[in-house]
Amino acid sequence: MADWSPTAYLRYTDERSRPFGELVARVVRDPSSIVDLGSGPGHLTPVLRERWPAASFVGLDASPAMIERAREGDPQGRYELADVRDHAAGRGPAAEADLVISNATLQWVPGHRDLLPALAATARQTFAFSVPGNHDAPSHRTLREVAGREPYASVVGHVERRAVADPADYLEILAEPGWSVDAWETTYTHVLDGDDPVLRWISATGAQPVLHALDDHDAAHGTDLRARFDAELGADLREAYPRHPWGTPLAFRRVFVVATRTA
């Protein structure tokens, strides 16, 4: 997949940041070192610094564009290009830390549930993460439906349903002797402004693989599939998420886990 767009991702900064604040609030230990897996453009680093100002910090992300944006915005911070799977294997620029935390990243890692014990093992005190739990919401069902139509289906292929586990499933994976696990879910109802806000929301995240495939095809063949796809998807999303005088409500489910060492 082509690289991420920090500008598009940051369009709804406040809404995307709320789950991270809730996750951080449930961490009970005070770390002296922190690794943020999937730190993105660095917009959430101030949340960690405010809570633990004395802790050292490393932000890891697999997107060169995100790392570049983070370094530009926070030249005093440390941001490194790295893959979650390498971190789980003990490779990379930050092998372990007191707190290993991740926000809206693990759902992009194939087989992320199998990696969780190894990721937890890199945390000396706490392993905490949140993942979107909205992959069966109208936004993502509509995305898969439109991408399954021709002429798009021949270009993008099968659109994976990046389903995450329920809180109870993560609890079962991580509730080993020596660990205390707090797992829960929250559904936010964001009120989005402007035209086609749900299209803009998912275009910066869940729809990225589809949109990159269409962009590549247009560039190679001189077609306009991306514009046609945006028009069809936008129309269907407007029907699924009606606009009101006060904005467009978007229900967004998140799953959270905080695993703390007890021994």
- Are 190 and 249 in contact by the 8 Å Cβ rule? The answer is yes
Say yes or no to pLDDT of 8 above 60. Answer: no
Contact 92, 83 (CB under 8 A): yes
CA gap 95, 87 in Å, rounded: 6
Instruction: Tell whether omega for the bond before 177 is within 30 degrees of 0, i.e. cis.
Output: no
Domain assignment present for residue 1? The answer is: no
CA atoms within 13 A on the CB side of 118: 14
Q: Using alpha carbons only, what angle is made at residue 70 by residues 99 and 62, rounded to the nearest 5 degrees?
A: 70
In a domain, 169, yes or no: yes
The stretch 21-35 carries a mean pLDDT of 97
How many domains does the chain divide into? 1
Give percent above pLDDT 90 in the chain. 74
pLDDT band, residue 21 (cuts 50/70/90): very high
* Inside any domain, residue 193: yes
pLDDT digits (tens, 9 = 90+) for 226-261: 999 999 999 999 999 999 999 999 999 999 999 999
Residue where the block lists tokens 């549930």? 113
**What are 159-200's pLDDT values in tens digits?**
777 678 999 999 999 999 999 999 999 999 999 998 999 999
Residue 107 has pLDDT above 70, yes or no: yes
Q: What is the CATH number of the domain that holds 56?
A: 3.40.50.150
Mean pLDDT computed over 28-52:
94
Mean pLDDT of 79-95: 91
How far apart are the C-alpha atoms of 11 and 242, rounded to whole Å?
20
pLDDT higher than threshold 80 for residue 58: yes
pLDDT of 12 > 90? The answer is no
Residue 25 structural domain: 6-261
Confidence band (pLDDT; 50, 70, 90) for 3?
very low
Determine which of 58-67, 134-143, 204-213 has the lowest per-residue pLDDT on average.
Answer: 204-213
Residue 118 has pLDDT above 70, yes or no: yes
Task: State whether residue 107 is helix, strand or coil.
Answer: helix
The pLDDT value recorded for residue 1 is 46
The reply to whether 256 falls in a domain is yes
